[in-house]
Structure 1
């Protein structure tokens, strides 16, 4: 008997109503008796030649409706594991070719080099010849980078390429590259000048070392130019950032706000936060220079979360923690009198764990908005509102 695919599992497999997992299945597809997959109305032709091989995308075979459904399902499932439910708002999808940051891997192979994402569940590098997620300004650098790294990397040596679009152009950080001698350093500078690179830095294992930077690299956040540290964090797409900022702004409108895990100030600058805390010294210093009147603290919120007395100065708190969530800070918030919380997360599982603590502490989870910045991947981000 044929079985219908009814949902997409967390890692991208289709799942039938009997619980069978089927690679590359989407809702509406049919699993036939002979094991073949019959495409349904939401199964599309993957646009990229590297799909099925490259680990950068897992869901190019799902149309937008199926992909939105996947984002919603991931959030609902994570919440249900902690006996929670909430209004799930319409997901935001970043369009193709909109990613402004990525980490690629490179390998010296023969007289040349390969560069791209790792293959799925493998350390093998898929040599990128096209890409439907990167911004064109970044993808155009792949061929010149391939030629450059072929001259700089020893045989069978790997490197990482961190690419970010900043106000001045592409910011590149090369990890595992050790230019040896004047010719290698000149090659780096010639590459940077010929390709209008905003900044080129290398990391030999002791941190970024800037080799080329005609003008100071900045990112503009809510109209404010902020110095961008080499290898710094930026939301993956501009439109995804706007979706998250808009959601946070709805929660914090008119409130005395603290931004915890503030980074460079993506949310603090948007809502005019009174206070921000950030563990990265470089990010905290950049935000302080950009917003000198904002009370800002270089503070590790895992080791030293704000306590209830410190939180009592604020009506609203913004949280945007790493994938591990913010369990220590959440426990203090659950015991506080803060009336509104805007929580931005890149991990529905740890978000739901933290949400359970807040709800047990008297908060209501008002709504969650999924955001698909990492187009066609299984990576899900979200913004959520809590109130008491």
Structure 2
């Protein structure tokens, strides 16, 4: 019989961040080992740490700062294991790789100008209110150092609305795209130029609904992927931290081994394409990303063969997939249901699947495993530290058929 003290103990953290007891009670902001009283009071246990940021838990940038490193790593693992279990699957799950604090190289902040005040930060948890951040434990310090100067710039630009500010650390420095606002006039141009010169900004672009318009870019902006500088379109997708990118790339390279020909599906700017020492067919649906990848490959004479291809409407066929020694696939959060159907039936020896959504990964993995594939291992990566967002890389192979004697 389960004791009352066990029932009231938080045993795990659910996908959305609430702690759960044995009997299924939920408690926000609780950690494994905490105890939950009948009135809902949480008593911290050995894995409940003091959140380091003054804005937690109001700020929506983090949901799990109250977990110590051990329980946060366990949460990352459990997210993947639970998703697989929901599809009646299991797999060897490796020790999670967790990115360090203050290492995020890209983020979207929200700004509001009202009553002469500029509010700038992340939105509040489960709300549209903007938390005016005074510190941040996830942003790279080089990005956070721009928060107060951006407030001052927006004030000089007579900013009186809401807008999004997309920040990315490029090779040349900070790349900034402001959407929902575009300043006009000579005074605004002079204020923007001074801001960029003072803070060594790589690029500033504005998008008021008609597409990004670059206002400052003294040198062509690039991001180095696999040792190759790749042209960086404004607000392009990148792995959130260099550390996380390195962990995922290492897992992909381990999975594909010494493959001579590789298909990189949903290739983006070439995060994995540029790191693979083989002939690579790279399929990507976003034209700006593909153009950048193509330019970088051409300049460095890499054996890369890019194709503009919407893999949801026109996934690679089984016959096309059979040409490759390995397939790397890194779809958006919705997964790759259409492409997984063809992958399930192809003869490619190995698949390296990178995912930012354990649920859709498990769904696609189910289709592969039902067709005879096996998950050799899963490498969890927690590069969105203290959030409920979990990423992973997994290796799929087909077991050799038993020999007939």
Q: Which TM-score applies when normalising by structure 2?
A: 0.94
Contact preservation (8 Å) 2:262, 2:328: yes
Query: C-alpha displacement at 1:32, in angstroms?
Result: 2.3
Contact preservation (8 Å) 1:152, 1:178: no
Contact preservation (8 Å) 1:226, 1:286: yes
| Aligned twin of 1:21 | 26
Q: Deviations over 1:6-61 (max 9, x none)?
A: 00011101001110000111110111244321111100000000001000000000
What is the SS of the residue equivalent to 1:371?
strand
Separation in structure 1 between the aligned mates of residue 53 and residue 197 of structure 2, nearest angstrom:
30
Matched, 1:233 2:237: yes
Matched, 1:211 2:211: no
Equivalence map 1:304-323=2 (5 Å): 304-323=314-333
Equivalence map 1:5-84=2 (5 Å): 5-84=10-89
Contact preservation (8 Å) 1:252, 1:271: no
| Aligned twin of 2:120 | 115
- Choose the corresponding residue for 1:336, options 346, 365, 382: 346
Query: C-alpha displacement at 1:153, in angstroms?
Result: 4.9
Contact preservation (8 Å) 2:51, 2:66: yes
| Aligned twin of 1:262 | 267
- Choose the corresponding residue for 1:201, options 196, 200, 205: 205
What is the SS of the residue equivalent to 1:88?
coil
Equivalence map 1:350-369=2 (5 Å): 350-369=360-379
Query: C-alpha displacement at 1:192, in angstroms?
Result: 1.2
Q: Deviations over 1:96-148 (max 9, x none)?
A: 00000000100002112000000000000000100000000000000010111
Contact preservation (8 Å) 1:152, 1:177: no
- Choose the corresponding residue for 2:390, options 374, 380, 388: 380
Q: Which runs of 5+ in 2 are unaligned?
A: 399-405
Separation in structure 2 between the aligned mates of residue 147 and residue 125 of structure 1, nearest angstrom:
17
Q: Deviations over 1:309-347 (max 9, x none)?
A: 111210110000000101111111111111100000000
Matched, 1:302 2:319: no
Separation in structure 1 between the aligned mates of residue 25 and residue 201 of structure 2, nearest angstrom:
48
How many residue pairs are counted as aligned between the two chains? 387
RMSD: 1.0
Separation in structure 2 between the aligned mates of residue 33 and residue 176 of structure 1, nearest angstrom:
47
After superposing on structure 2, the runs of 4+ consecutive aligned residues of structure 1 that deviate more than 3 Å are: none
- Choose the corresponding residue for 1:146, options 151, 165, 182: 151
Contact preservation (8 Å) 1:346, 1:381: yes
Q: Which runs of 5+ in 1 are unaligned?
A: none
Q: Deviations over 1:359-379 (max 9, x none)?
A: 112110111111100010000
| Aligned twin of 2:290 | 284
Separation in structure 1 between the aligned mates of residue 193 and residue 88 of structure 2, nearest angstrom:
56
Q: Which TM-score applies when normalising by structure 1?
A: 0.98
Q: Deviations over 1:210-236 (max 9, x none)?
A: 100111101111111111111111110
Query: C-alpha displacement at 1:180, in angstroms?
Result: 2.0
- Choose the corresponding residue for 1:186, options 167, 190, 194: 190
